[in-house]
Structure 1
């Protein structure tokens, strides 16, 4: 019967072989330190090559007005901009502003839904960055409460 140590050893060996053969996705290994450490929406957009974002009706963001549990806040966001190359989700008052980042292509519908953790009440931003570097955003406020009473 294989032990946990044996299973881990074999798994690491397989991962090493896949990496050596170039079969691991490179984007999964990428890390944008400047974007992860950004403290504002403008800094995060700049880290991904975008300009200072301007508000646009072509970016859509749906979040609850009041979140009873900040550990699980449902967020849906997307864009109708045909030239969008990246879509970002940002929570202004989280310790790390950047929540999610998606690379877009013609074969991908630019609409996403996920659960995010919010440390406190904050503005939430969906930012679309176009191929020419212009950035557009939608903003909504989410109040994180105890028991959903809005206090």
Structure 2
């Protein structure tokens, strides 16, 4: 390959710009691990939440004793998901002082899909797409200053749970 002065200058200029951005901190030199992010958001041992296999274990891992069924937790999910790899789920809490919204499915390898801490003054609403391994109940778990509350919805998966 024949190299000329113009190619050399482009390469040297790009390398210098990259070194400047890395040195100034604009480009991180390492990616955050999931543990780093979880510990930054919720100090303490957050991994136990993701090790829970049932809703009761999840409530205990989050610091509660039991959860009550509540009509003030609105869980929206399709009755039938054509593709288990992409199931849209929305949760709206009408409970006062909502601190956390978690979405879980006991039939997935890890029950907990997401746990979102809700700051004071923020609308307690979460929307995401989750994977379902098979037909199962999706549970929305809400933590308030009065305890844990939940809503459930059965979602039938017709094709390819978890991308298969």
Higher relative contact order (CA 8 A, sep 6+): 1
TM-score (norm 2): 0.72
How far apart, in 1, do the equivalents of 2:113 and 2:141 lie? 11
Tell me which residue corresponds to 1:127. Answer: 141
Aligned ranges 1:101-112 → 2 under 5 Å: 101-112=115-126
Match of 1:138 among 146, 151, 155: 151
Q: CA deviation at 1:27?
A: 1.1
How far apart, in 1, do the equivalents of 2:83 and 2:56 lie? 27
Tell me how many residue pairs correspond in the alignment: 135
Q: CA deviation at 1:31?
A: 5.6
Flag structure 2 segments of 5+ consecutive residues without an equivalent.
1-10, 33-38
Larger helix proportion of the pair: 2
Closer, same or farther: CA 70–137 of 1 in aligned 2, 3 Å: same
Q: Deviations over 1:17-62 (max 9, x none)?
A: xxxxxxxx92178761111010001111111112211100111100
Matched position secondary structure for 1:135: strand
Flag structure 1 segments of 5+ consecutive residues without an equivalent.
16-24
Q: Aligned Cα RMSD in Å?
A: 2.7
Matched position secondary structure for 1:50: coil
TM-score (norm 1): 0.78
4+ long deviations beyond 3 Å = 5-10, 28-31
